[in-house]
């Protein structure tokens, strides 16, 4: 860097005071034991850089005691240090006034008043790219989005970022002989102007050469399908790194290295070498957690990562929870196409679930094919299912156990990040699943169902975040009783409408009163209840839920949140317009309260690498209807606040 004309001597006035001055509330303070530093006259960005340059700050952090002689010596450095701190921001002629106050007991206050003065402006900036790569969009993008322009205040950081962007782009994308042939920053402080000239000669671009592979874990053909590049393509270091990530995520290898070799300057070729050792073949996993939805829960998993050299794998997982009962699931995975993101899976599961007041037992088995196109992952699947729903014997419509045998084709569609390589994702901004079944496939039920979920976080500044979450589900079925319980929708709970219990929002079905003498359920000739003992929640054909949540970050990975939730599950979107009110007599048996329910609340968040803890308190805003069996009528109740806890270590 070239600089013309010496910097004019800034004016300085030192003042030593022996009395304590009142602190101006508007002045930011950087406080530590023994020393208080006040900086006035500059914005937060400049202030932070001044503090970084001040010897007083370094002494504070070191914890050293300051006597009068040391304070005087450090005070004499203030002007020079402030000048050095402001120069990178284009202020070459600041006026600095500083004073020191002895507060007694070894405490000192340093007050620095700064007038940055007139800034140096960029008179002319000339950035060029020459050579074979001058028209490459990678460099053109840099030239079209320069952080400095004629007339801008000079910023040394912006100047350095232009240089580093040019050099980094050249080194990353194969211009390995690139060099800066001009690199000038000429500053004229008296005239408050600066001229910038940068010129990069790209040299010839290099290309991928042969890839050598040293490993005996899986077949070499499978390893080559993980490569993110091909021989003869322009060299791109990001694709070398992505190859390393893809191979690492396969879990076949340990001590994996994917390294570019020495470039051949005559042929402009860069070879690549891959070396890997086998990873541990068998993996066992254990997990435990708690949530108000599930109660205590635990997980045990086993995985055989390499059944053969073709990369087949097998896994089995057992989950158990106090509320949601158990689930045993196994998968046999076969890599296909691009093995990083595509696979054929043969899966099977056995589970018992408690869906509100209905217990279900489900056995399913079938294949699925997972593929990724652009930013979308789609899973094509076919499941053969046997599912049994257990309702009370007095249920009005489907008393006792009811079994459905189904053949269910479907497709899942999920958004994935750009450059996705198959790594586990804890959430998707958008997720959709389509399921269906028909008697022509040998199924006991005819239905088609669409379920959509969307979630997005907007960052409102450095510490504020806005979370929007929505869910929509709809089913087309000839008769509600034909829709198996495992495919019905429920709402309420930790990740739904807080303020209501897990699966608490749902259409209901009457349970007839049982005669205490004959033990028979009191029914009319058409099967309806003469007298209703209770209403049970059995799920709905459709669902709508949503969340609006504002989160404020706090120090030490903590956070607080305020939220508004809404939603319900129902049997028809038309029910949303129905007014829910207490109804007496036989009409009560047909009452379906399906209006949207609302709640508000506050929450506390703890975010750690291996721990996620959420504690929310939510208050429903609407009244609920509770069945009074003695009066044979619904009564309005006002639910109180509800605590939601989600605590789960990631093991």
Say if residue 90's pLDDT is above 60: yes
| Residue 87 near residue 155, CB atoms below 8 Å | no
Domain boundary among 201, 219, 248: 201
The strand ranges marked E within 478-572 are 508-512, 532-537, 542-554, 558-570
Mean pLDDT of 214-230: 96
Number of domains in the chain: 4
Mean pLDDT of 174-179: 96
Backbone angles phi, psi at 450, to 5 degrees: -120, 130
Same domain, 528 and 626: yes
| Residue 123 near residue 194, CB atoms below 8 Å | yes
User: What pLDDT sits at residue 580?
Assistant: 54
Spell out the residues 6+ positions from residue 395 whose beta carbon is closer than 8 angstroms to its own. Answer: 509, 510, 511, 512, 536
Choose among 34, 40, 54, 39: nearest CA to 103: 34
User: What pLDDT sits at residue 577?
Assistant: 60
Q: How confident is the model at residue 160 (pLDDT cuts 50, 70, 90)?
A: very high
Mean pLDDT of 285-294: 88
Q: How confident is the model at residue 29 (pLDDT cuts 50, 70, 90)?
A: very low
User: What pLDDT sits at residue 578?
Assistant: 59
Say if residue 223's pLDDT is above 70: yes
State the DSSP string of 54-120.
-HHHHHHHHT----HHHHHHHHTTHHHHHHHHHGGGT--S-EEEEEEEEEETTEEEEEEEEE--SPP
pLDDT tens-digit readout, 595-639: 899 999 999 998 877 667 889 999 999 888 888 888 888 888 889
Percentage of residues in the chain having pLDDT higher than 70: 90
Say if residue 253's pLDDT is above 80: yes
User: What pLDDT sits at residue 66?
Assistant: 73
pLDDT tens-digit readout, 135-159: 999 999 999 999 999 999 999 999 9
CA–CA separation, 309 and 278 (whole Å): 11
Domain boundary among 85, 115, 145: 115
Same domain, 180 and 272: no
Same domain, 232 and 153: no
CA–CA separation, 580 and 636 (whole Å): 10
User: What pLDDT sits at residue 300?
Assistant: 96
Choose among 80, 58, 56: nearest CA to 70: 56
User: What pLDDT sits at residue 40?
Assistant: 93
Same domain, 381 and 396: yes
**pTM, two decimal places:** 0.81
Mean pLDDT of 319-347: 94
Choose among 495, 468, 376, 469: nearest CA to 425: 376
Mean pLDDT of 463-484: 91
CA–CA separation, 98 and 111 (whole Å): 6
Percentage of residues in the chain having pLDDT higher than 90: 71
Same domain, 511 and 379: yes
CATH number at residue 41: 3.10.20.310
Q: How many beta carbons lie within 10 A of that of residue 540, not counting itself?
A: 26
pLDDT tens-digit readout, 197-220: 999 999 999 999 999 999 999 999
Q: How confident is the model at residue 6 (pLDDT cuts 50, 70, 90)?
A: very low
Query: Residue 643: which region, alpha, beta or left (left: phi > 0; alpha: psi -120 to 50)?
Result: beta
* Region of poorest pLDDT, from 246-255, 264-273, 367-376, 424-433: 424-433
Domain boundary among 225, 252, 278: 278
Q: How many CA atoms lie within 13 A of 51 on its CB side?
A: 20
Same domain, 460 and 579: yes
Say if residue 15's pLDDT is above 70: no
User: What pLDDT sits at residue 192?
Assistant: 94
Choose among 357, 324, 353: nearest CA to 508: 357
CA–CA separation, 407 and 385 (whole Å): 6
Same domain, 570 and 627: yes
Long-range own/partner contacts, residues 135-144 (CB < 8 A, 24 or more apart): 136/173, 136/202, 138/169, 138/173, 139/166, 139/169, 139/200, 139/202, 142/166, 142/169
Is 156 in a helix, a strand, or coil? helix
Is 51 in a helix, a strand, or coil? helix
Same domain, 338 and 419: yes
Mean pLDDT of 114-120: 95
CA–CA separation, 592 and 506 (whole Å): 9
Q: How confident is the model at residue 62 (pLDDT cuts 50, 70, 90)?
A: low
Length of the chain, in residues: 651
Q: Can you give the residue range of the structural domain that contains 37? A: 2-115
Q: How confident is the model at residue 10 (pLDDT cuts 50, 70, 90)?
A: very low
pLDDT tens-digit readout, 420-469: 888 877 677 999 999 999 999 999 999 999 999 999 999 998 899 999 99
Token pair in block for residue 304:
């055989």
Mean pLDDT of 342-360: 95
Same domain, 391 and 531: yes
Same domain, 70 and 181: no
* Helix/strand number for the chain, H first, E second: 8, 32
Say if residue 384's pLDDT is above 80: yes
* Positive/negative CA dihedral, 492, 496, 497, 501: positive
CA–CA separation, 101 and 15 (whole Å): 9
Choose among 88, 91, 81, 87: nearest CA to 115: 91
Same domain, 186 and 255: no
| Residue 295 near residue 323, CB atoms below 8 Å | yes
CATH number at residue 572: 2.40.160.50
Say if residue 641's pLDDT is above 90: yes
Long-range own/partner contacts, residues 79-85 (CB < 8 A, 24 or more apart): 79/10, 79/12, 81/50, 81/53, 81/54, 81/55, 82/50, 82/53, 82/54, 82/112, 82/114, 83/7, 83/10, 84/53, 85/46, 85/49, 85/50, 85/52, 85/53, 85/54
User: What pLDDT sits at residue 650?
Assistant: 43
Same domain, 267 and 293: no
């Amino acid at each position: 860097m070239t600089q013309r004309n010496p910097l004019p001597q800034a004016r300085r006035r030192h003042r030593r005071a022996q009395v304590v001055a009142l602190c101006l509330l508007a002045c930011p303070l950087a406080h530590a034991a023994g020393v208080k530093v006040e900086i006035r006259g500059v914005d937060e960005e400049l202030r932070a850089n001044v503090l970084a340059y001040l010897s007083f700050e370094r002494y504070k952090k070191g914890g050293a005691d300051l006597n009068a002689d040391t304070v005087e010596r450090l005070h004499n450095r203030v002007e020079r240090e402030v000048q050095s701190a402001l120069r990178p921001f284009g202020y070459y002629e600041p006026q600095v006034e500083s004073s020191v106050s002895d507060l007694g007991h070894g405490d000192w206050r340093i007050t620095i008043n700064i007038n940055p003065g007139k800034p140096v402006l960029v008179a002319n900036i000339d950035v060029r790219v020459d050579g074979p790569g001058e028209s490459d969009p990678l460099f053109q993008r840099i030239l079209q989005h320069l952080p400095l322009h004629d007339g801008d205040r000079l910023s040394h950081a912006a100047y350095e970022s232009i240089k580093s962007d040019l050099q980094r782009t050249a080194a990353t994308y194969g211009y390995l002989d690139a060099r800066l042939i001009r690199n000038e920053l000429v500053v004229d402080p008296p005239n408050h102007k600066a001229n910038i000239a940068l010129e990069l000669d790209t040299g010839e671009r290099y290309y991928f050469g042969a890839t050598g592979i040293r490993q005996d874990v899986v077949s070499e053909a499978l390893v080559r399908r993980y490569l993110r590049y091909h021989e003869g393509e322009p060299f791109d270091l990001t694709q070398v790194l992505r190859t390393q990530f893809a191979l690492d995520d396969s879990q076949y290898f340990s001590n994996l290295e994917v390294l570019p070799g020495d470039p051949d300057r005559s042929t402009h070729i860069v070879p690549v070498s891959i070396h890997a050792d086998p990873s541990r073949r068998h993996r066992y996993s254990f997990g435990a957690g708690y949530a108000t939805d599930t109660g205590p829960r635990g997980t045990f998993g086993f995985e055989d990562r390499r059944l053969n050299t073709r990369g087949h794998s097998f896994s089995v997982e057992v989950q158990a929870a106090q509320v949601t009962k158990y689930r045993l699931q196994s998968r046999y995975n076969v890599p296909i196409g691009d093995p990083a993101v595509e696979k054929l899976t043969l899966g099977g599961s056995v589970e018992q679930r408690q869906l509100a007041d209905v217990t279900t037992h489900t056995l399913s088995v079938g294949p699925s094919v997972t593929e990724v196109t652009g930013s979308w992952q789609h899973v094509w699947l076919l499941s053969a299912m046997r599912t049994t729903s257990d309702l009370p014997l007095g249920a009005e419509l489907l008393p006792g156990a009811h079994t459905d045998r189904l053949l269910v084709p479907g497709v899942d569609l999920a958004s994935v990040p750009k450059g996705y390589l198959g790594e586990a994702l804890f959430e998707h901004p958008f997720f959709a699943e389509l399921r269906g079944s028909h008697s022509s496939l040998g199924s006991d039920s005819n239905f088609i169902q669409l379920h959509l979920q969307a979630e997005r976080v907007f960052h409102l500044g450095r510490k504020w975040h806005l979370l929007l979450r929505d869910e929509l589900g709809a089913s087309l079925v000839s008769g509600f009783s034909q829709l198996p319980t495992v495919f019905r929708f429920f709402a309420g709970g930790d990740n739904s409408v807080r303020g209501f219990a897990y699966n608490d929002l749902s259409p209901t079905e009457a349970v007839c009163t049982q005669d205490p003498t004959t033990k028979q359920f009191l029914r009319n000739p058409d099967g309806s209840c003469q007298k209703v003992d209770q209403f049970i929640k059995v799920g709905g054909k459709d669902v709508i839920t949503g969340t609006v949540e504002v989160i404020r970050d706090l120090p030490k990975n903590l956070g607080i949140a305020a939220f508004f939730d809404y939603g319900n599950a129902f049997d028809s979107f038309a029910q949303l317009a129905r007014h829910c009110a207490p109804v007496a007599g036989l009409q009560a048996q047909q009452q379906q309260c399906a209006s949207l329910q609302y709640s508000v609340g506050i929450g506390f968040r703890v975010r750690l690498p291996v721990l996620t803890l959420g504690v929310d308190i939510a208050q429903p805003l609407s009244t609920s209807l509770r069945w009074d069996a003695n009066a044979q009528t619904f009564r309005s109740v006002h639910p109180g606040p509800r605590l939601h806890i989600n605590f789960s270590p990631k093991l």
